[in-house]
């Protein structure tokens, strides 16, 4: 009984807490494919607006209204592979293996009409990311094909990236509890990971639409202030990508040389909800090819996310 009580209190206590922690996992095993973007792991923290900014970030938040400013931090690992994990069967135009390990810090501004999020990410691509070991272990647990070919991955390179994303409400229904809203999502990022500009829109239906933080489908979602809530969502975007180190970075001579597909698109659809201080979401994502002459016309993966407020 003593072990059950703390969990019950966590799920049922009032939701007026300061911060949100989250864990997310992306994997294409959900759609029974391998290749291109194949796995991502994320662990992070998002503060509540007005709870204060760490001293390291305060110089960058001087123009932000204190009651609207928040900060976030994240550790993530991502990996990309060819569509066939047996190197003897890989086509000459398949992409190289790539693994990325990143630490991200940033600032956000939450206002009634829009949310802006600014971030800087630093890390490494290459064997130092640990992506090969993680994929081998995951495939062993799942009984999937052993991922051979990592000896031809993008080599160790330091990474740095700046990014900005806006979630802006264009329209919402007048429903008091359950309704619709339409958002648009301009965003841009630059650095030696990927440099691109994108514009997207999303449509949501549910009773957890009050806040705009985390409403882009690539961001960790943040539950609304009510004790319970849920929402269905779908989004799509068009982007222009200038560079992509997972395709163009330094590599062994045996690794394939491919060209970036500059015009790209993506979509996502899913469901999210929370009870008390615990929330979860599940979504399916699709992206057009990152590179020219790709074997697959679309790459798909699923995302599972869990958040908790404290």
- What is the rounded CA–CA span in Å between residue 262 and residue 38? 20
20 in any annotated domain: no
Residues 280 and 228 sit within 8 Å (Cβ to Cβ): no
22 in any annotated domain: no
Work out the average pLDDT over 300-307. Answer: 95
9 in any annotated domain: no
Number of separate domains in the chain: 1
Looking at the chain, the whole-number percentage of residues with pLDDT higher than 90 is 65
186 in any annotated domain: yes
Distances, alpha carbon 214 to alpha carbons 110, 183, 210, in Å: 11, 12, 12
3-state secondary structure the chain: CCCHHHHHHHHHCCCCCCEEEEEEEEEHHHHCCCCEEEEEEEEEEEECCCCCCCCCCHHHCCCCCCCCEEEEEEEEEEEEECCCCCHHHCCCCCCCCEEEEEEEEEEEEECCCEEEEEEEEEEEECHHHCHHHHHHHHHHHHCCCCCCCHHHCCCCEEEEEEEEEEEEEEEECCCCCCEEEEEEEEEEEEECCEEEEEEEEEEEEECCCCCCCCCCCCCCCCCCCCCEEEEEEEEEEEEEEEEEHHHHCCCCCCCCCCCECCEEEEEEEEEEEEECCEEEEEEEEEECCCECCCCCCCEEEEEEEEEEEC
Extract the tokens encoding 124: 């490494």
Predicted confidence at residue 28, as pLDDT, reads: 81
243 in any annotated domain: yes
19 in any annotated domain: no
CATH number for the domain spanning 75: value is: 2.40.128.140
Residue whose structure tokens are 């494919």:
33
**Sorting pLDDT into bands at 50, 70 and 90, what band is 14?**
very low
- Evaluate if residue 64 carries a pLDDT over 70: yes
- Evaluate if residue 7 carries a pLDDT over 80: no
16 in any annotated domain: no
pTM score: 0.90
10 in any annotated domain: no
- Domain range enclosing 122: 27-303
Residue 204: strand pairing partners? 181, 233
**Sorting pLDDT into bands at 50, 70 and 90, what band is 86?**
low
Residue in 54, 45, 51, 43 with CA at minimum distance from that of residue 16: 51
- Evaluate if residue 95 carries a pLDDT over 60: yes
């Amino acid at each position: 009984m003593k072990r059950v009580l703390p969990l019950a209190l966590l799920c049922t206590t009032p939701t007026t807490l300061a911060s949100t922690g989250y864990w997310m996992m992306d994997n294409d095993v959900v759609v029974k494919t391998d290749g291109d973007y194949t796995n991502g792991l994320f662990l992070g923290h998002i503060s509540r607006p007005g709870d204060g900014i760490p001293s390291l970030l305060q110089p960058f938040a001087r123009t932000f209204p204190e009651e609207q400013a928040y900060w976030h931090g994240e550790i993530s690992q991502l990996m990309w592979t060819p569509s066939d994990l047996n190197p003897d069967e890989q086509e000459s135009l398949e992409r190289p293996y790539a693994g990325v390990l990143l630490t991200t810090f940033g600032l956000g501004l939450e206002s009634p009409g829009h949310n802006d999020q600014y971030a800087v990410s630093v890390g490494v691509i290459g064997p130092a990311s640990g992506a090969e070991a993680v994929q081998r272990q995951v495939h062993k647990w799942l009984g999937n094909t052993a991922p051979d070919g990592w000896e031809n991955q993008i080599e160790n390179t330091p990474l740095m990236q700046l990014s900005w994303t806006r979630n802006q409400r264009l329209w919402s229904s007048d429903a008091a509890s359950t309704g619709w809203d339409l958002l648009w999502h301009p965003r841009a990022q630059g650095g030696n990971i990927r440099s691109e500009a994108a514009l997207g829109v999303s449509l949501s239906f549910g009773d957890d639409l009050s806040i705009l933080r985390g409403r882009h489908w690539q961001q960790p979602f943040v539950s609304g202030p009510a004790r319970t809530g849920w929402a269905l969502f779908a989004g799509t975007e068009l982007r222009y990508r200038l560079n992509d180190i997972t395709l163009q970075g330094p590599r062994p001579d045996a690794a394939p040389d491919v060209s970036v597909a500059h015009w790209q698109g993506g979509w996502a659809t899913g469901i999210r909800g929370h009870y008390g201080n615990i929330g979860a979401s599940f979504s399916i994502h699709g992206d057009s090819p990152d590179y020219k002459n790709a074997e697959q016309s679309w790459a798909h993966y699923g995302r599972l996310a869990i958040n908790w407020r404290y």
